[in-house]
Structure 1
Amino acid sequence: MHKNPLLASVFALGSGLLLACSASQALATEGGLSSWPMGIEIYGMGILPPPGTYGQIFTGNYEAKSVRDNAGNKAADIDLRVTTVVPRFVWVTEQKVLGGDLGFHALLPLNDMRLNIKNGPHDSKRGIGDAHLGPVVGFHLSDKLHMATGVDFVLPTGAYDKNDIINLGNNYYTVEAVYAMTYANPHGLNADVRLMYDYNFENKDTHYQSGQELHADYTLGWGVGNSWVVGVGGHAYQQVTDDKCSASNCAAAALVEETNGYRGRSFSIGPAVQFSSKDGWSLSAKWQQESGVRNRAEGQTVWLKFTTPL
């Protein structure tokens, strides 16, 4: 392990956009990483489609030039770029649960990552990240108001080495509770929120346990007709419990203590647009800039999302 706690944390920053691939973070929680790629969802995040099988492709590119410390000041200059392609499969069954439609989803990210630390080392990785899968139940409260709830399980399928400065996976399990709502009006207000709460298990290689996390993806837009929605979107993130590191040789233990748990936070916002075809497919795009960052990298992300029946 690296002897300098801050440098050790920057080195851990790797797993990038994981997921889903979220390299939009770089400190707080171990290596500043979260299992969910913040802001990846765009419009329609609370709508579970009719029974059937669906495919989605998310593509994203994240770039960061600095790491922010516990006070929001620049702690390090970096050059981080993570490009990800995330295929996702959704199966909605005929089964009803409490009046809602039962579905399942699974995804596996493919990441291309590069990290350069100013006056320090550099590295790059390419391969699969950590898989997500889980059940979901969707409700259609009206023709415009929709709701979905479920649980995601994140599996440590990405390659990991505690001595590398970047990694494709986090090397620990996460359980994520999910609640999402969408209000969709083709000729008026469109609003979405996906609220998530993460419980992270211990990384057995480092004996580090990242704190619990509360975060949300959101969009707000206006249906302008002709199947288009335009507006803004992003994410809000707050770590709600302390990181823990019990190992006697844990390089980040002092930093966790000095920063009262080494909790991270961030917020992003930017333009978002969606086109929905009469044939059932849709294409969304979003650009988001991070601000108010604590104990993480600060950067910007471009997301594209394509959905189609299979």
Structure 2
Amino acid sequence: MNDRMMKAGILSGAMTALLLTAAPARATEGGGSAYPHGAEGWMTGMLPPEGTYLLNYSTYNSADRLNDGDGEQVPVDFQVEAFANTVRFVHVTDKKILGGTYAFQVLVPLVDVSVDMRERRDHRAGLGDIVVDPFILGWHFDKLHIAAGVDIILPTGRYNKDALANIGRNYVTFEPAVAITYHDPKGPELSAKLMYDMSTRNKATDYQSGNEFHVDFAAGWNFPKSSLGVAGYYNRQTTDDRQGGMVVGDGNRGTAFAIGPTVKVQAGKVPIMLTWQHEVVARNRSQGDKLWIKAIFSLGGGQ
């Protein structure tokens, strides 16, 4: 397997894609999180060699229930389907800072979301919220790899405060991230990307979503031309949602845990990852399933 492409799982990153309603009180805010949980898995802490890379994420998300703060289903008809394709450009330089390699990235999502809820149906499609990270550092220690950065999720997607489905969130989110990978090319792999989201206020609704801690993870075994394992995510909101300076309801603190099988194969020089994730725990949010297909392409520019 081409070592250059094997290392293209890379760093901290985020894309804004699936903007789902999380609970009736949060319907106008798009609900859920600014980050699409579960986007990263294999090799997420491995910054690739110097050069330019294109990563393509395609995802399908479906949910047919809303849960309250105890994880019990809210008695309301609900169905959401979301498709997204995100293109992520990463450039890794030859510069070293604090012993780490300097890189930067931008992510551009195209989103299609449909929501049925309480005899209402809404559909939106188009450009989602673009993500930029102008400062990423990556370190390599034999089989251990670490990457860190701060993603900035920008309100570029279309937003309407009266809509049930939105493809933009109408506020900025700052997301510090640290990704760690233990990678043995002929043995085990453990990867985790830890993030903390801090969102600004939505000026259209005077609503501010609470801060969130979340982690994407993967664990598996690497074979010569493929890898098998499990992948998922854990999300916990750490502060209350507020509107007009007041706590909304019980704070709408969401929690989620998802897990499922994942496989990585090599198609020529292009690594392709396929992952299915089922949410086994969901509180103050929607509950459903996600399917991810991720491919990594080297655009050259390095040694």
User: How does the TM-score come out when normalised to structure 1?
Assistant: 0.87
Q: CA deviation at 1:24?
A: 5.9
**Counterpart for residue 306 of structure 1:** 295
**Counterpart for residue 116 of structure 2:** 116
Question: What is the CA–CA distance in structure 2 between the aligned matches of 1:114 and 1:189, rounded to whole Å?
Answer: 39
Tell me the number of residue pairs that the alignment of Structure 1 and Structure 2 aligns: 281
**Are 2:33 and 1:43 equivalent residues in the alignment?**
no
**Are 2:147 and 1:145 equivalent residues in the alignment?**
no
Question: What is the CA–CA distance in structure 1 between the aligned matches of 2:32 and 2:171, rounded to whole Å?
Answer: 11
Q: Give the counterpart of 2:278 among 275, 289, 310.
A: 289
Question: What is the CA–CA distance in structure 1 between the aligned matches of 2:156 and 2:173, rounded to whole Å?
Answer: 12
1:31-180 to structure 2, matched below 5 A, reads 31-75=30-74, 76-117=76-117, 119-134=118-133, 135-142=135-142, 144-180=143-179
Identity %: 38
Question: What is the CA–CA distance in structure 1 between the aligned matches of 2:278 and 2:20, rounded to whole Å?
Answer: 10
The Cα offsets for residues 237-262 of structure 1, whole Å up to 9 and x where unpaired, read as 00001111117xxxxx68x23x1x11
Q: Give the counterpart of 2:229 among 228, 231, 238.
A: 231
Q: Give the counterpart of 2:22 among 21, 26, 50.
A: 26
* Superposed CA RMSD: 1.7
* Contact 2:276 2:292 survives alignment (8 Å): yes
Question: What is the CA–CA distance in structure 2 between the aligned matches of 1:267 and 1:43, rounded to whole Å?
Answer: 18
Q: CA deviation at 1:267?
A: 0.3
The Cα offsets for residues 115-136 of structure 1, whole Å up to 9 and x where unpaired, read as 111x420011110100101021
Question: What is the CA–CA distance in structure 1 between the aligned matches of 2:94 and 2:121, rounded to whole Å?
Answer: 50
Please give the secondary structure, in 2, of the residue aligned with 1:234.
strand
5+ unaligned residues in a row in structure 2: which ranges? 1-13
Q: CA deviation at 1:26?
A: 1.9
* Contact 1:227 1:277 survives alignment (8 Å): no
Question: What is the CA–CA distance in structure 2 between the aligned matches of 1:48 and 1:283, rounded to whole Å?
Answer: 17
**Counterpart for residue 271 of structure 1:** 261
**Counterpart for residue 9 of structure 2:** none
Q: Give the counterpart of 2:238 among 221, 226, 240.
A: 240
Q: What amino acid maps onto 2:44 in structure 1?
A: M
Please give the secondary structure, in 1, of the residue aligned with 2:30.
helix
**Counterpart for residue 8 of structure 2:** none
The Cα offsets for residues 125-148 of structure 1, whole Å up to 9 and x where unpaired, read as 110100101021000111x21110
Question: What is the CA–CA distance in structure 2 between the aligned matches of 1:186 and 1:101, rounded to whole Å?
Answer: 22
The Cα offsets for residues 28-85 of structure 1, whole Å up to 9 and x where unpaired, read as 8743231110001120110100110000000000000000011111113311000000
Question: What is the CA–CA distance in structure 2 between the aligned matches of 1:146 and 1:243, rounded to whole Å?
Answer: 35
Please give the secondary structure, in 2, of the residue aligned with 1:274.
strand
**Counterpart for residue 7 of structure 1:** none
1:184-199 to structure 2, matched below 5 A, reads 184-199=183-198
* Contact 1:160 1:168 survives alignment (8 Å): yes
* Contact 2:41 2:192 survives alignment (8 Å): no
Question: What is the CA–CA distance in structure 1 between the aligned matches of 2:15 and 2:169, rounded to whole Å?
Answer: 10
Please give the secondary structure, in 1, of the residue aligned with 2:159.
coil
Question: What is the CA–CA distance in structure 2 between the aligned matches of 1:271 and 1:111, rounded to whole Å?
Answer: 24
Q: What amino acid maps onto 1:156 in structure 2?
A: P
Question: What is the CA–CA distance in structure 2 between the aligned matches of 1:54 and 1:89, rounded to whole Å?
Answer: 6
Please give the secondary structure, in 2, of the residue aligned with 1:273.
strand
Q: What amino acid maps onto 1:294 in structure 2?
A: R
**Counterpart for residue 10 of structure 2:** none
* Contact 2:20 2:80 survives alignment (8 Å): no
The Cα offsets for residues 155-186 of structure 1, whole Å up to 9 and x where unpaired, read as 00000010111111000000000000111112
Q: What amino acid maps onto 2:122 in structure 1?
A: D
* Contact 1:24 1:298 survives alignment (8 Å): no
User: How does the TM-score come out when normalised to structure 2?
Assistant: 0.89
The Cα offsets for residues 2-22 of structure 1, whole Å up to 9 and x where unpaired, read as xxxxxxxxxxxxxxxx93213
5+ unaligned residues in a row in structure 1: which ranges? 1-17, 248-252
